[in-house]
């Protein structure tokens, strides 16, 4: 009897049921290895940006210049004005070999105007430094610096090349690794790459041919060094070394790059080929390409510089088999497509791509397909294979490919990598069949009581049960070829009307999914909550193109009353988006305006208030009032006009109070007008009395 899952499944309930479907749709496929592309060019332009016309150091300046040179990019910033004076200063002073090395290799690309005499003086100092060198890095900086001077046209010859060669070789040991100096007791794989590049420089500067026996010893050391190479399951190869004591720790990227630089440089200068399996060169190329597009200036420089060495080496040029897509749809009739190029995307020689074997993860011992040749599309330079006639079903498969070169002479130039392993996902439409749901009194199935379901759409089944009943659900999943399909995630959810959810993980039995929910044993898990439960079914898998979340219907459960000590439903998570919903409108504390009377009543009241004024004017006319008694002298006349104007202003203030003003504002204005009117009336009375005395 299934029960609500605990642990991780229980926590997923709070992420939302659709999140379970999203989780099961993720496809875990090994990263597809692709050659250098425009993404690297875009990244280089973004990463290498000078500040105030120059980079922070000559080492970073060289990384930028060399990266642009490898990718065929035009320099977007001119750093010569700020960098060339620094180079001239270093070359003209008594700088140490490391500073001379960085200055000379930047100048090899930048091409500053340096006099021939300066190069000759630097070369003389370096020749002296080589004789006094003790550590491997001293030899490296001095020899490589002389090589850069030689590239400028100067005649550089090591008269005692044999002695220098032996001095460098003395830092090595029998397994191909080297010591940085005689005091360093721990050998290093990274130092081996530096030593090989330095030995190649000595051979380039030697005044005569080196003893062939010494060269063969170094070749054998290289073979021994490759015996310590490490690998991944997909054939990717790399070098690494552990940090011992206080020695500087270098990761696989720097260590592998050092070995590749040294081995390819040594192979380019000696006669004959090194006895290194070409498949190992392909494995090293896969390692650098598997990084993708690095996000730092140092990493992208190391990656591209190493790939450049592999692209133009005399051992074996690796050919990379890449796939435009590792997830193929059977319903869309996708073709399996493959492309073969060099690490920088150059066109490969004529060849054939064969699908050697195909294994399903469910049966890795028995191949389901063997020996299928991919067709070549010359228009798109792609190899393809039609999967439909091969009857490949949905799922995850391991494919093994093999590249066959048409020209036998190319076997000495290119390396194909042997059997190439790739992981593919084939997706398709999964059919849900024989789906039914019902309520039973016992475990025995009753076919009559089952209600059929169509899982291609939502259903509206209505069920009724109590705690003595059992709910039964069953269905079957079939692949496009009619085989039973077992998805990674199958969940049944019951959601109460109070939003409490219960999730059940379904298991497959005899090719069919069945679940029998005994509500008597689930009453505590359901927190004794009676009422309506919505039923949903979720099925998802990476190989399913139609993963679904379907509504089955609902069930009305009648469960017993909850005991006092029974567990309570957990608090439901608060939706974080609720903080963005509109807030409740704030009601102001001011008194709401009174209800106004009808408009007709207001006009009638206005007429009534005007009647006394009309009566007053009629009374004046009936009494025969005239204005002949109005003062004629200037001061009394002014006071009279001001007095009557104040009376009019007060009347006008009453009108504004009626229409617009509040009581406080009206009283303030009335107080001001009242004071003015009182003073004016007093002045008018005094003037009138004075005039009366004068007339008397």
Is 377 or 444 the better-scoring residue by pLDDT?
377
Low-confidence winner among 353-357, 480-484, 634-638, 682-686 (lowest mean pLDDT): 682-686
- The model's confidence at residue 8, banded by pLDDT at 50, 70 and 90, is very low
Supply the mean pLDDT for the chain: 86
pLDDT at 184: 67
Inter-residue contact 307 to 344 (CB < 8 Å): yes
Q: How many helices (H) and strands (E) does the chain have?
A: 17, 23
- pLDDT (tens digit, 9 = 90+) per residue, 228-281? 999 998 889 999 986 555 455 688 999 999 999 999 999 999 998 899 999 999
Q: Between these two residues, 662 and 587, which has the higher pLDDT value?
A: 662
* % of the chain at pLDDT higher than 90: 59
* Residues near 25 by beta carbon (within 8 Å), at least 6 away in sequence: 540, 541, 542, 544, 547
H-helix or E-strand spanning residue 432: strand 431-440
pLDDT over 70 at 115, yes or no? yes
User: How many angstroms separate the Cα of 342 from the Cα of each of 103, 256, 311, 382, 558?
Assistant: 32, 19, 7, 14, 70
Q: What is the pLDDT of residues 235-245, one digit of tens each?
A: 899 999 865 55
Given pLDDT bands bounded at 50, 70 and 90, which one contains residue 126? very high
* 3-state DSSP assignment of residue 610: helix
Residue 81 has pLDDT above 70, yes or no: yes
Q: Are the CB atoms for 109 and 62 separated by under 8 Å?
A: yes
The pLDDT value given to residue 4: 39
Q: Is the pLDDT of residue 3 over 60?
A: no
Question: CA-CA distance, 6 to 555, in Å (whole number)?
Answer: 24
Residues 491-548: tens digit of each pLDDT: 999 999 988 999 999 988 888 999 989 999 999 999 999 999 999 999 999 899 999 9
User: What is the pLDDT at residue 15?
Assistant: 38
What confidence score (pLDDT) does residue 629 get? 63
Residue 243: the pLDDT is 58
Q: Decide if 464 contacts 451 (C-beta within 8 A).
A: no
SS3 of the chain: helix, strand, coil, percent, to 5? 40, 20, 40
């Amino acid at each position: 009897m299934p029960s609500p899952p605990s642990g991780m499944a229980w926590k997923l309930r709070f992420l939302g049921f659709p999140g379970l479907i999203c989780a099961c749709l993720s496809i875990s496929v090994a990263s597809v290895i692709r050659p250098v592309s425009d993404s690297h060019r875009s990244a280089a332009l973004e990463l290498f940006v000078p500040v105030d016309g120059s980079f922070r150091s000559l080492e970073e300046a060289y990384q930028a210049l060399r990266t642009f040179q490898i990718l065929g990019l035009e320099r977007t910033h001119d750093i010569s004005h700020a960098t060339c004076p620094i180079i001239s200063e270093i070359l003209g002073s008594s700088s140490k070999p490391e500073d001379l090395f960085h200055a000379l290799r930047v100048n090899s690309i930048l091409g500053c105007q340096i006099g021939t005499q300066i190069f000759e003086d630097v070369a003389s100092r370096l020749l002296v430094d080589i004789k006094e060198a003790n550590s491997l890095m001293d030899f490296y900086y001095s020899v490589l610096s002389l090589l850069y001077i030689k590239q400028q046209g100067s005649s550089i010859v090591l008269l005692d090349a044999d002695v220098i060669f032996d001095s460098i070789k003395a830092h090595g040991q029998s397994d191909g690794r080297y010591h940085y100096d005689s005091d360093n007791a721990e050998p290093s794989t990274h130092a081996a790459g530096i030593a090989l590049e330095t030995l190649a420089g000595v051979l380039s500067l030697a005044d005569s041919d080196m003893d062939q026996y010494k060269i063969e010893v170094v070749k054998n050391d290289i073979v021994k060094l490759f015996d310590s190479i490490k690998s991944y399951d997909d054939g990717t190869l790399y070098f690494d070394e552990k940090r011992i004591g206080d020695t500087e720790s270098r990761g696989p990227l720097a260590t592998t790059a050092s070995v590749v630089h040294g081995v390819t440089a040594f192979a380019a200068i000696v006669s004959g080929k090194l006895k290194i399996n070409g498949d190992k060169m392909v494995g090293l190329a896969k390692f650098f390409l598997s990084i993708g597009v690095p996000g730092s200036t140092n990493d992208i420089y190391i990656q591209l510089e190493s790939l450049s060495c592999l692209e133009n080496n005399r051992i074996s040029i690796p050919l990379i088999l890449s796939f435009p897509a590792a997830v193929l749809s059977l319903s869309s009739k996708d073709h399996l497509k493959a492309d073969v190029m060099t690490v920088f995307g150059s066109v490969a020689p004529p060849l054939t791509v064969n699908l050697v074997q195909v294994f399903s993860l469910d049966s890795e011992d028995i191949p389901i397909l063997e020996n299928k040749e991919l067709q070549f599309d010359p228009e798109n330079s792609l190899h393809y294979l039609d999967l439909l006639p091969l009857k490949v079903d949905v799922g995850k498969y391991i494919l093994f490919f093999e590249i066959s070169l048409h020209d036998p002479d190319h076997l000495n130039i290119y390396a194909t990598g042997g059997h190439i392993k790739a992981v593919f996902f084939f997706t398709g439409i999964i059919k849900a069949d024989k789906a039914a749901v019902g309520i039973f009194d016992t475990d025995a199935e009753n076919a009559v009581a089952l209600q059929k379901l169509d899982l291609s759409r939502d259903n509206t089944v209505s069920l009724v049960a109590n705690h003595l009943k059992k709910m039964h659900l069953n269905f079957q999943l079939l692949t496009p070829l009619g085989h039973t399909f077992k998805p990674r995630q199958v969940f049944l959810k019951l959601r109460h009307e109070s939003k409490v959810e219960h999730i059940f993980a379904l298991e497959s039995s005899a090719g069919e999914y069945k679940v029998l929910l005994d509500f008597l044993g689930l009453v505590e898990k359901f927190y004794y909550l009676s009422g309506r439960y919505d039923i949903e079914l979720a099925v998802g898998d990476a190989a399913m193109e139609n993963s679904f979340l379907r509504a089955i219907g609902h069930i009305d459960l009648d469960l017993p009353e909850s005991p006092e000590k029974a567990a309570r439903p957990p608090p439901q998570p608060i939706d974080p988006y609720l903080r963005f919903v509109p807030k409740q409108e704030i009601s102001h504390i001011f008194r709401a305006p009174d209800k106004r009377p009808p408009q007709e009543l207001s006009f009638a009241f206005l007429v009534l208030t005007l009647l006394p004024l009309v009566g007053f004017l009629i009374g004046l006319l009936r009494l025969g009032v005239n204005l002949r008694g109005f003062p004629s002298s200037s001061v009394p006349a002014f006071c009279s006009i001001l007095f009557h104007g104040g009376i009019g202003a007060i009347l006008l203030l009453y009108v504004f109070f009626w229409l617009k003003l509040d009581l406080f504002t009206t009283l303030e204005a009335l107080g001001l007008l009242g004071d003015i009117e009182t003073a004016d009336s007093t002045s008018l009375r005094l003037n009138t009395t004075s005039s009366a005395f004068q007339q008397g």
